[in-house]
Amino acid sequence: MIADIKQEAVEHCTAKGSRDYVRAIAEIERLERELKQTKHALGESLNVRDMMSESLKKCTATLNAVEYQLKNTEAALIYSNECVNECVDWLRQENRALKLSGELWLKRSIDLKFELLMANKTINNIKAQLDLAVSKITSPGG
């Protein structure tokens, strides 16, 4: 391609004179240098792109591993949360049962206290009647 352009320039400039020929050759050489620089820059860009592509692959692999760990952690937290909820429910039921049991024991205690008071009252009445009977028996006019 460059050789074809040179050949055209040579043919065109030879017809016009050597000064145009020299200018055309200088322009072609300048364009060749620019083309070489552009090729070199494109090669470096390609290398950078390849490095970035490799880096992106590594990052993607790392992100996949992190995502896998996060999913496992999420599953463990969900399971743990379910276990905690079950334990809380069981503790609530036990607390409710203990509260009911405590209330029953308190009621029974009050009933027993009332029965004890009634028994003490009966005993005191019996003592009073006994004392009265004893005092009637032991009294001189009795």
pLDDT in tens, the chain (142 residues): 666 766 776 666 555 567 888 888 889 899 999 999 999 999 999 999 999 999 999 999 999 999 999 999 999 999 999 999 999 999 999 999 989 898 999 999 999 999 999 999 999 999 999 989 888 888 876 5
End-to-end CA distance of the chain: 158
Tell me the two tokens of residue 119. 């028994």
The domain of 98 spans 2-138
How many independent structural domains does the chain possess? 1
Please enumerate in sequence order all residues whose Cβ is within 8 A of that of 35, keeping only pairs 6 or more positions apart, or say none.
2
DSSP state, residue 141: T
Q: Are 32 and 9 in contact (CB under 8 A)?
A: no
Rounded to whole angstroms, how far apart are CA atoms 46 and 53?
10
Tell me the two tokens of residue 87. 């334990």
Distance of CA 59 to the CA centre of its chain: 21
